[in-house]
Amino acid sequence: MDDSLSFESLFRGARRFAWSALEAHGEEEEEVFLLHAGVSVERLAKATLAKTSPFLLMEMKGKDDTLYHLTGVRQAAKLRTVGAGQAIGRLRDMGVLPQRDPDLDELIELIELRNGVAHLMASVNETFDGLTVFCRVTNQLLDHLKDDQGRYWGSWSTLVGITLSDAHERVERDVARRIEHARRLFKKRFQDLPQAALESYLATRPQLRHGLQISKKGPPKVFIPWPCPACNNTTVIVAGAPVLIKSGEPGESVPEMLLCFVCRFYLQDQEMEAAGIPDRLPLVDESGTRLLTDVEEFLWHRDPAGHGIVEDD
C-alpha cells in the first residue's frame, strides 16, 4: 500500500502542519494559520481512521482503483479517498468526535473552502476562535489514539495548554451563568404557587424512555437519567456508543447532550464537564440497573453506527 495513506505518514503530516499552523498564528498570519490548521486536522482525522482500518479512508463511489490500491493488487494513478468532512463524519459515527459541535462544523466548512483563501477568510465568523477549536479537536483525536499530547505538540505544548485552559474557564463561566439564570426563572415561575401546581406541571412534561434509542436519521443513542444542574428534576443525558465495556459490569459512554424538559436547560459537548458531569457515564438508571445488556453493549461498541442492534418492542 502507498505509504502516503499509512497511519504513520498521515500522522507525521498532521503534526508537521500543526506546528506550521501555530507558527503562522504567532506571526498573525491568519490565512496561513487556517489553511495549515485545516490540513493538520484533516490528516489527523484520516490517520485516526487508518489506525482502525485503511478501508475507512475509501470513498464509497466510483471505480475500484482505491480498493485495488489498498489491497495491494495494483497501484492506482489517482486515489479517491474521503474528504475532511466525510472523514470527520465517520469519526462522529464511531463515537470518536461529538455528533453536535457547532465549532467543529465551522472548522470543517473552513477546511473544505481552503482552496480559495479569499473566500475562506470571508466565511470566517467573527466569534469563531479557530485556535481553540483546532487545539481542542486535535487533542480529542490524540486522546482516542492514546498518543502523548506533549510529544505531538512539542515546543508548542505550553501555548496549547494555555489556550485550552482559558477556553475552559470561559465555558465554565458561561455554563455557571446559564445554570443560575435557569434556576432563577424556574423558581420565580412557581414560588407563589402551591406544591400541587408544580406537581401538575411536572406530570405534563415529556417523559423520555431511558435506555437504547434507535433512529433512522443517525446512529443509536442511549438516554441516561440525570438530575438537572439548574432545577434538580430528573432529566436525560444523551450519549453515544459505549467506549468502555467489561463483562458483567455496565459499559460507559461519553455524554453528548443534556436536555431538561422541566426548566428547558440544556448542555452539549464541552459544556458537560463545566457543569460537573463526568466525561464518561455508566449506562445505568437511577437505581443502578443496567440500561443495556452485555450483548447490546458489545455489538454497539464494536459497531458505533449500530448495525446489528435491534431495539426491543
Per-residue model confidence as pLDDT tens for the chain (313 residues):
456 678 999 999 999 999 999 999 888 888 889 899 999 999 999 999 999 888 888 876 656 676 676 677 777 666 677 888 889 999 988 888 887 788 888 888 888 776 555 445 545 566 678 899 999 999 999 999 988 999 999 999 988 988 888 888 888 888 998 999 888 888 888 888 888 888 888 888 877 789 988 877 778 899 999 999 999 999 999 998 898 888 888 999 989 999 998 898 999 887 888 898 998 899 999 999 999 999 888 888 888 877 777 655 4
Q: What is the per-residue pLDDT for 126?
A: 64
Q: What is the per-residue pLDDT for 154?
A: 92
Tens digit of pLDDT for each residue in 71-103?
A: 777 776 666 778 888 899 999 888 888 877 888
Q: What is the per-residue pLDDT for 313?
A: 45
Judge residue 89's burial from the number of C-beta atoms within 10 Å of its C-beta, 0-12 exposed, 13-18 middle, 19 or more buried: middle
Task: Give phi and psi for 149, each to the nearest 5.
Answer: -65, -40
Report which of 132, 110, 114 is spatially closest to residue 123, judged by C-alpha positions.
110
Contact 252, 281 (CB under 8 A): yes
Which residues lie below 8 Å from residue 180, measured CB to CB, with a gap of 6+? none
Cα gap 56→81, rounded to integer Å: 9
Q: What is the per-residue pLDDT for 197?
A: 85
Q: What is the per-residue pLDDT for 73?
A: 76
Contact 142, 152 (CB under 8 A): yes
Domain ranges, ordered by start, for the chain: 3-147, 195-302
Tens digit of pLDDT for each residue in 213-261?
A: 887 777 889 999 999 999 999 999 999 889 888 888 899 998 999 999 8
Q: What is the per-residue pLDDT for 142?
A: 95
Phi-psi region of 223 (alpha: psi -120 to 50; beta: other; left: phi over 0): beta
Q: What is the per-residue pLDDT for 78?
A: 67
pTM to 2 decimal places: 0.63
Contact 294, 235 (CB under 8 A): no
